[in-house]
Amino acid sequence: MKAFMPAGRRRLAKSVVATVALGILLTGCGGTSATTPSSSAAAVDPASAEGAKGNISICGGKDASGIHKNTTAAFNKAHPGMTAKYTEIGSTTDEARTQAVQRLEGKSTECDIFMTDVIWTAEFASQGWLLDQTMLVEGIKDRLIPSTVKAVEYQDKYWATPFYTNAGLVYYLKDKVAKPKTWQQLYQEAAKAPGNGLVYQGKQYEGLTVNFLELLYSAGGEVLNDKGEVVVDNDTTRKVINFMADGIKNGSADKAVLTYNEDPTRLAYESGNFGYQRNWPHVYRLLNATKLAGKFDVAPLPSFDGSAKASGVLGGWNFSISAFSTNPAAAVAYINFATTPDWQKHVAMDNSQAPVNEAAYSAPEVLAKMPFAQQLLDSVKGAKPRPVSPVYPQISQAINKNVYSVLSGTATADEAVKKMAEEIETAKASF
Ligand code: GLC
């Protein structure tokens, strides 16, 4: 299956320019080059939010933490003339992307704002699907964590405004297992007794790419180097994949992880039958509402034996305004609200998500609700981005498909790594 259609989508970029003739609040419709949307897409003016009214439809993935429910409710209360509504369009990031792409390719006006994963910026911007938010981001970027700003940049412009960032954490049951320093220690401890095991996201989707890259980056490996060359076919990658596969064979990680995305991982852990869980910070609040409250602690991701330091993978979600939105002024008003320093504290306090506003992490009221806030900030700052490319989804698929084939016992690490490298080269060549 050819999941990517560059030529067709490039043509689409041209038509977007015509569609977004929403005069009053959009500026800067300049050039016509469809492959360089940065010179052709319409830009939103932050001042357009004044006097905005009407409905705002926000579309995104499953609202597992409740952050979108809370944010829309608070916004609606504070803005009597506007109504924001959140619609879930997928239970994983992969599903949410497919649904968003379908709507954007069909020029649907259903969603004014798409919640976009940090890995989608290059693809969505290069297709001309988004309004240029450079002016908006310029106005607030001094108070944002730099990596979150970088994640919305493509060809020298900003295509979204960061909402919350993300970094993986290890949850562990204090009475059963030790705080892990290295992945090797964690896996050993997890195999020691039934009930000590690890759960993580091992299903074949983006989450597995992340879980694998966390280990690979910590072991000193990478997928693309600074020049964008594919450098994944080496012993470090083989070692990491074998390490994960052995972990499933010897019972360190429950075999069921091969079917888990984030929510099933969390729910399995809530049974109390496991020692460790790799998941995102939003799980902290949800776990605190279960029988495991008080019994677990949160640790940064461990390092990989023989390597100096741990390295996470940067996650996070941004507000992108659809080029087909019929109410971009209200979308700007919503984004302004959700990124105020005050609301950013709520992101942490109410939903234990990681704010993009750096000052939120040291606010006393945040620390009271999220005692690991400083540690989370360190994890976010230490996290590495995933490869940046307009064909990232294909690159990621080449990663998770081949890692999965080894974890599920249908390929050797050697076969999988060779194929992974080849498929990443093919993906790169398709754009
Ligand atoms: C989280 C992260 C996102 C990542 C996804 C993988 O939602 O914020 O960046 O791609 O998990 O499942």
Interval 25-45: pLDDT, tens: 444 333 333 344 545 679 999
Minimal-distance CA residue to ligand 1 atom 3: 315
* Probe target for ligand 1 pocket from 62, 93, 163, 386, with the most ligand atoms within 8 Å of CB: 93
pLDDT category at 309 given cuts 50, 70, 90 is confident
Residue 5 lies in a domain: no
Q: Mind giving me the DSSP string for 66-123?
A: SHHHHHHHHHHHH-TTEEEEEEE--SSHHHHHHHHHHHHHTT--S-SEEEEEGGGHHH
Residues 121, 21 share a domain: yes
Atom of ligand 1 nearest to the CA of 315: 9
Atom of ligand 1 nearest to the CA of 280: 1
Of 23, 370, 414, residue with least CA distance to 164: 370
The residues that bridge with 182 in the sheet, in sequence order, are 303
Say what the pLDDT of residue 40 is: 65
Residues 319, 308 share a domain: no
- Domains in the chain, number: 2
Of 47, 29, 27, 48, residue with least CA distance to 39: 29
pLDDT of 18 above 70: no
Say what the pLDDT of residue 310 is: 79
Of 351, 318, 201, residue with least CA distance to 269: 201
Residue 63 lies in a domain: yes
pTM: 0.92
Say what the pLDDT of residue 307 is: 76
Residue 10 lies in a domain: no
Residues 347, 266 share a domain: no
Residues 51, 112 share a domain: yes
Could you tell me the distance, in angstroms and rounded to a whole number, from the CA of residue 257 to the centre of ligand 1?
A: 17
pLDDT category at 1 given cuts 50, 70, 90 is very low
Atom of ligand 1 nearest to the CA of 313: 9
Minimal-distance CA residue to ligand 1 atom 6: 207
Residues 333, 294 share a domain: no
Could you tell me the distance, in angstroms and rounded to a whole number, from the CA of residue 327 to the centre of ligand 1?
A: 28
Could you tell me the distance, in angstroms and rounded to a whole number, from the CA of residue 59 to the centre of ligand 1?
A: 16
Residue 327 lies in a domain: yes
Say what the pLDDT of residue 427 is: 97
Residue 11 lies in a domain: no
Say what the pLDDT of residue 336 is: 97
Residues 117, 147 share a domain: yes
Domain of 323: which CATH number? 3.40.190.10
Residues 114, 31 share a domain: yes
Tracing tokens 């072991």 back to the chain, one arrives at 219
Residue 80 CB burial class (10 angstroms; 0-12, 13-18, ≥19):
exposed
pLDDT of 251 above 90: yes
Residues 366, 234 share a domain: no
Could you tell me the distance, in angstroms and rounded to a whole number, from the CA of residue 380 to the centre of ligand 1?
A: 13
Minimal-distance CA residue to ligand 1 atom 9: 315
Domain that holds residue 308: 169-313+391-429
Residues 367, 404 share a domain: no
**CB 257 within 8 Å of CB 248:** yes
Minimal-distance CA residue to ligand 1 atom 2: 315
* Gap between the Cα atoms of 89 and 99, Å rounded: 6
Residues 305, 421 share a domain: yes
* Gap between the Cα atoms of 104 and 41, Å rounded: 15
Residues 178, 277 share a domain: yes
Neighbours of 264 (CB within 10 A): 16
Residues 221, 99 share a domain: no
pLDDT of 342 above 90: yes
* Probe target for ligand 1 pocket from 117, 169, 388, with the most ligand atoms within 8 Å of CB: 117
Atom of ligand 1 nearest to the CA of 61: 7
Token pair listed for 155: 């060809």
Residue 2 lies in a domain: no
Could you tell me the distance, in angstroms and rounded to a whole number, from the CA of residue 114 to the centre of ligand 1?
A: 15
Ligand 1, residues at Cβ distance < 6 Å:
93, 117-119, 166, 206-207, 210, 262, 280, 315-317
Say what the pLDDT of residue 156 is: 97
Token pair listed for 204: 């074949």
Residue 106 lies in a domain: yes
Average pLDDT over residues 121-143: 97
Could you tell me the distance, in angstroms and rounded to a whole number, from the CA of residue 25 to the centre of ligand 1?
A: 32
Interval 73-119: pLDDT, tens: 999 999 999 999 999 999 999 999 999 999 999 999 999 999 999 99
Of 276, 424, 281, residue with least CA distance to 353: 281
Atom of ligand 1 nearest to the CA of 201: 12
* Gap between the Cα atoms of 290 and 287, Å rounded: 5
Residue 101 lies in a domain: yes
pLDDT of 17 above 70: no
Average pLDDT over residues 379-399: 96
* Probe target for ligand 1 pocket from 166, 212, 283, 320, with the most ligand atoms within 8 Å of CB: 166
